[in-house]
Structure 1
Amino acid sequence: MVDGAVGTGGEPEPSDSLRTFGAVVQGLREHAGLSREEFGELVRFSKHTVASVELGRRMPDPVFVERAEEALGMAGVLRKAAGRLERQPGLAAWFRRWARLEALAITLYTYECRLVPGLLQTEAYARQLFVDELPPLGDEQIEAQWAARSERQRLLRERPNTTFSFILEEHLFLRHTGGVEVTRELIDHILAITELRNIEIQVMPLVRESHAGLHGPLQLLETPENQWFAYLEGQQSGQLINDRKVVSVLQRRYARMRAQALSPECSVSLLRRMRGDL
């Protein structure tokens, strides 16, 4: 189970409550005579995020709820309604809190050695992962998982002021998950993402005598309040860490890996060479 996808141990839950909450937000916003863009400025979220919440596609972050309360002059109505939202289609229960923090992060670091992380996946690559799940997933489960993953990926383009860093192992592309065509599309997709100013992608070379990431994959993020969290995910479980001492250790490991991996420029060159060899 990777990137909070839901398997048979935590099936996708219905999104009726999300749609209802979103409709309430939309109704109150329109009653106040505010466009999505104007409301977004008041709550300091993009109009795209506002739309995602109103359409029930996105779990509202607690900060969004608090700012919406203030902007719309509610007396705890939205706060109480949000307290009943426990459902987020396609995301496992253990991942939801991290996903909410991720949506607000001003810095997000990701190291992966098992597969290309969800924020960078193409649909074809992600669907291959879902098809390979054991026990097998049903069609509705696969659709819910891709919908949730696709929604998360909007962060890369909707949060231009957020700093994203990814360190990916070279062997992730040599495995050819899903076949050569899927790998070719995946590399093209990642090369396009590297052109965004706020995103840095580095490849850890296949041969490396010293490697600070041998303990496994990790994610780190910084909130707008400059608080750091870490997230470690295993099979059927995930661990959100806010202990400063533990987070500090993981930050140092990630910093060492950034120095050990290829530079962003060399990483792009390597990906282009790998693309040419397919």
Structure 2
Amino acid sequence: MTADHESTAAGGEPELSDSLRTFGAVLKALREAAGLTQEDFAPRVRYSPAYIAKIEQGKRFPPENLPERAAEALGAVAGKVLGAAARSLRRRAGLASWFQQWAGIEEEAITLYAYECRGVPGLLQTEGYIRAVFDRRLPPLAEDAFEQQVAARLARQDLLPGRPNTSFSFLIEQAVLERRLGGTQVTSTLIDNLLTQGGRRNVEVLVMPLRQPDHSGIDGQMYLAETPSHTWFGYVEGHDSSTLLTDPKVVSAMLQRYGKMRSQALSHEASAGLLKQMLGAL
């Protein structure tokens, strides 16, 4: 998403989430199955008992090396289990609580549609563009929070190469690119990335031209996802808030609007041609 706000709760504590609780519960179950107390386990993984307790309670994101260290204390199978749980968790690490539910749907989607009129969709953003977005956040971010949010958004982009069987469609207003957020070099790298990602067999990048009298997107940005069970969900967001839309009637209307806009936008080939033209003009 454009907003895709990654954040932590006040005082530096990550917001409590189901995914953190689940990881903590898995760690606790593996530790107890090995017959170890937190006091026994902590020195074996070279962390304090208090820190392990917070991880098990879902109040701390696990360190990257915890699965490896846990394998030494609990065995190779336990290490693999924790490693898999940590990889899934990191895809959502730092995501705002109001974005977590959509992030889960997005990760499992077999079809994902995105229309943006405010900025480039988060899954297509380059590091330079991400930094330009967060540079302009108000109130300003502290340096450590800034870097954490940049890393979190970049981590989510593993979704595109990681889901080759998911059909992605991104519809972006030309005006968003003409704005040149972050400057010429940032925009150049960004457009080059749009061309690269749009070259994937399962990814469609369409541009809505600046002048289009027949435009069905006046209600603003929207996202749509189809789950493996072929249920569709809609999603809209803005100003540190979001709405997950589940009413079939509402989602059907969104699908109709998105389908209409795909016909109003430039074709896949024409969009690529315009992007190359814009890139050459920078």
TM-score between the two structures when normalised by the length of structure 2: 0.75
**Structure 2 match to 1:69:** none
- Other-structure match for 1:31: 77
CA drift of 1:140 comes to 1.4
How many angstroms apart in 2 are the aligned matches of 1:245 and 1:176? Answer: 37
Matches within 5 A, 1:165-204: 165-204=169-208
Q: After TM superposition, give the deviation of residue 12 of structure 1 in Å.
A: 6.6
Say if 2:100 is the partner of 1:54: no
Q: SS where residue 160 of structure 1 aligns?
A: coil
CA distance in 1, matches of 2:75, 2:274: 49
2:263 aligned partner:
259
Q: Secondary structure at the match of 1:103?
A: helix
**Identity fraction in percent:** 45
CA distance in 2, matches of 1:151, 1:157: 12
Question: Does the CA-based 8 Å contact 2:128-2:186 persist in structure 1?
Answer: yes
Change in 2 beyond 3 A, CA 1:135/1:196 = same
In structure 1, stretches of 5+ residues that fail to align are: 40-49, 60-87
* Residue identity opposite 2:186 in structure 1: V
Partner of 1:4: 4
Maintained 8 Å contact 1:52/1:58: no
Number of aligned positions between the proteins: 235
- Give the structure-1-normalised TM-score: 0.77
Question: Is this contact kept in 1: 2:114–2:224, CA < 8 A?
Answer: yes
Q: Indicate the structure (1 or 2) with the bigger Cα radius of gyration.
A: 2
For residues 243-266 of structure 1, the C-alpha deviation after alignment (integer angstroms, 9 at most, x for no partner) is 111000100000000000000000
Partner of 1:161: 165
State the distance in 2 between where 1:52 and 1:135 align.
36
Distance 2:208 2:173 in 1: 5
Asked whether the equivalents of residues 107 and 163 of structure 1 are also in contact (C-alpha less than 8 Å), the reply is yes
Q: 2:12, 2:203 → 1: CA distance?
A: 30
Q: Give, in angstroms, the shift of residue 151 of structure 1.
A: 1.3
Which residue does 2:241 correspond to in 1? 237
Note the alpha carbon deviations across 1:78-129, whole angstroms, 9 max, x for none: xxxxxxxxxx543111100000111111000000000001100000101011
Distance in 2 separating the partners of 1:29 and 1:8: 32
Distance 1:246 1:138 in 2: 39
Confirm whether residue 221 of structure 1 aligns to residue 189 of structure 2: no
Question: In 2, distance between residues paired with 1:226 and 1:168?
Answer: 25
